[in-house]
Amino acid sequence: MNTSKSGLTLAVFMPNYNHARFLPRAIEAIASQSRQPDDFLIIDDGSRDASVRVIQEYQKKFPFIRLIAYQKNRGLMYIMGTILEHLACDYLFGSAADDYILPGFFQNLMKAAAQYPQAGILFAPMVIENEYGNRAGVARPEGLKRQAYLPPQAYLEHFLHHEPPMNSYSASTAYRTAALEAVGGFRPALGPWCDTFALRAAALRFGACYLEPPAAVWTQHRTSVSHTARKNPHNMLRYIKRAAQLMRSREFAPYFPQAYVARWQAGYAASLYGGFLLSWLPLPAAFKDWVVRRGIKLLKHVF
């Protein structure tokens, strides 16, 4: 066990499907942390490539790595919906197999967790990288300037009110397990937005700890879950409608201000359809990027 001086434990989970080529980078980034995880569970979802062999080789080097290998593909939402059944640590971090974390993240994370035990989540900026390894920039919240604990109202005012509707820092977010359980875990009915809903619900109920420096590298590529979801705006909009209904429910309405929910839902729909239509226009990529950035700024004022 690698339990910190505070006695707090950390579990990492990594769903994988046919990402054998990315696994060494992702696994080594986690296993080589100065503060290693107490439990590292990799769930292979019926991969047809060499993923399982790659994972088994790393198990020989790092005894804290566990493997669940499904014979048939069950889908990411099945994994997300059942993940809490397999983990028992105080804190939980999920990493996609095609993303990777940066050195020192877990050390900083667990130090902050001991300092702010009330926080439902702990999150940090993330580096954005394309599938060819070229870095596109750093996603950093506009309303936050330094590492600090944010009570629920401060999280709403200094973070959510400044963020574009579609933004999510799930690739660089860790959860206090009890807080995640209190908000219902990851709900498969919300599809690709299940983790973002969970982290926001936990933060608006228990508060959040913002960390510096950047913690992870989020890889954008054409086969990613987020990219695939946005190619079908009608389907994604159904998930967003479900999320908004949940925010308005008796369980979550005390934490999600209804004026915010209305602005978020309308802004998300506008961003989703605007981006989809723009992707079909025969325009230079640089111009499309400029339109997207400009549109995000306008949406903040409109919604």
Per-residue pLDDT of 149-191, as tens digits, reads 999 999 999 999 999 888 899 999 999 999 999 999 999 999 9
What is the DSSP secondary-structure string of 152-206?
Answer: HHHHHHHTGGGS-TT---GGGEEEEHHHHHHTTS--GGGGGGHHHHHHHHHHHHH
- Rounded to whole angstroms, how far apart are CA atoms 119 and 10? 15
Strand partners, 68: 43
Cβ–Cβ under 8 Å, residues 298 and 267: no
- Rounded to whole angstroms, how far apart are CA atoms 26 and 33? 12
CA Rg, the chain, in Å? 19
Cβ–Cβ under 8 Å, residues 23 and 59: no
Q: What is the pLDDT of residues 12-69, one digit of tens each?
A: 999 999 999 999 999 999 999 999 999 999 999 999 999 999 999 999 999 999 999 9
Which DSSP symbol is given to 85? Answer: G
pLDDT of residue 288: 46
Is residue 293 over pLDDT 70? no
Phi, psi for residue 137 in degrees, rounded to 5: 145, -170
Collapsed DSSP state (helix, strand, coil) of residue 261: helix
Q: What is the pLDDT of residues 220-243, one digit of tens each?
A: 876 555 555 556 788 899 999 999
User: Where is 43: in which H helix or E strand?
Assistant: strand 39-45
Q: Which domains does the chain have, with CATH numbers?
A: 1-97 (3.90.550.10)
Is residue 290 over pLDDT 70? no
Q: Is the pTM of this model over 0.85?
A: yes
- For β-strands 39-45 and 10-16, DSSP reports them as parallel
